[in-house]
């Protein structure tokens, strides 16, 4: 006897829901900051698809505070990268981001511990001692080479906006990351890019009212190098994050 159509529709929706949940969870849980990219071009149409999906990210009162996403590739990216690397090597103290990413006061110890552990794992995966200044400097230089990624985004936000809008920008950034992963691409967000906002302004039509929030490298991952060098960073357990009251 065939299933009633109502029951079939219900079962079908359950299957779709379970599949969507599994795919979404996988995209989020297996996300990583990719620092090894293949020299394979990323099609303009694919970039547009990613931004088209990400633009539906939530924002307070639908303000959509992501001012602009500047997409760099080719000769423009090479010129920006070359100038940033040179500045990083010769006169890094000359440049400063338009905001403080970390507190000016010492970090609370629990966060300081995580930051130190990140450094140990990251530099350890490169066989660089955390106290090796030359080795760490060389590793940092790769940030301004954008790890060989064929595409780099620069995200800006209006200078008049405050913490709430910056949180909304975070929703948008996560949406870009997940939309990219769904298409076989990987990303790494780079706050370090904001330090050289004066260089970016020489190459891009960034308005005076725009704050350069961060950059993001994107491309097809070099999975062989990822497997060889990538150090998976630990995440806090669910029980350490959530506190139930009444459920």
Question: How sure is the predictor about 232, in pLDDT bands with cuts at 50, 70 and 90?
Answer: confident
Contact 212, 98 (CB under 8 A): yes
Question: How is the chain split into domains, by residue range?
Answer: 1-30, 33-235
**Mean pLDDT on 37-42:** 97
pLDDT tens digit sequence for 107-132: 999 999 999 999 888 888 888 887 77
Answer yes or no: is pLDDT of 87 > 60.
yes
Share the mean pLDDT of the chain.
Answer: 92
- The predicted structure's pLDDT at residue 123: 84
> Considering the domain 33-235 in this protein, what is its CATH number?
3.40.109.10
Question: How sure is the predictor about 82, in pLDDT bands with cuts at 50, 70 and 90?
Answer: very high
Query: 94 Cβ partners below 8 Å, 6+ apart?
Result: 87
pLDDT tens digit sequence for 180-219: 999 999 999 999 999 999 999 999 999 999 999 999 999 9
Answer yes or no: is pLDDT of 1 > 50.
no
Answer yes or no: is pLDDT of 4 > 60.
no
- The predicted structure's pLDDT at residue 122: 86
pTM for this entry: 0.91
Q: Could you tell me which residue, 24 or 129, shows the higher pLDDT? A: 24
């Amino acid at each position: 006897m065939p299933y009633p159509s109502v029951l079939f529709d219900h079962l079908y929706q359950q299957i779709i829901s379970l599949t969507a949940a599994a795919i979404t969870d996988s995209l989020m849980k297996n996300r990583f900051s990719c620092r090894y990219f293949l020299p394979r071009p990323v099609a303009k149409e694919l970039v547009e698809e990613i931004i088209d999906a990400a633009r539906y990210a939530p924002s307070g009162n639908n303000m959509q505070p992501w001012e602009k996403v500047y997409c760099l590739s080719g000769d423009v990216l090479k010129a920006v990268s070359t100038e940033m690397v040179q500045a990083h090597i010769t006169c890094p103290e000359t440049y400063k981001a338009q905001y403080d990413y970390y507190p000016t006061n010492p970090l609370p110890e629990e966060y300081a511990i995580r930051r130190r552990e990140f450094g140990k794992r990251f530099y350890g995966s490169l066989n660089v001692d955390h106290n090796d200044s030359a080795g760490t400097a060389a590793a940092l230089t790769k940030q301004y080479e954008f790890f060989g990624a064929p595409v780099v985004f620069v995200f800006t936000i209006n200078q008049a906006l405050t913490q709430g809008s910056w949180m909304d920008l975070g929703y948008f950034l996560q949406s870009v990351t997940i939309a990219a992963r769904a298409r076989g691409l990987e990303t790494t967000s780079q706050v370090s890019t904001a330090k050289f906002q004066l260089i970016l302004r020489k190459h891009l039509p960034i308005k005076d009212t725009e704050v350069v929030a961060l950059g993001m490298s994107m491309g097809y991952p070099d999975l062989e190098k990822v497997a060889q060098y990538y150090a998976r960073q630990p995440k806090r357990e669910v029980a350490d994050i959530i506190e139930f009251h009444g459920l």
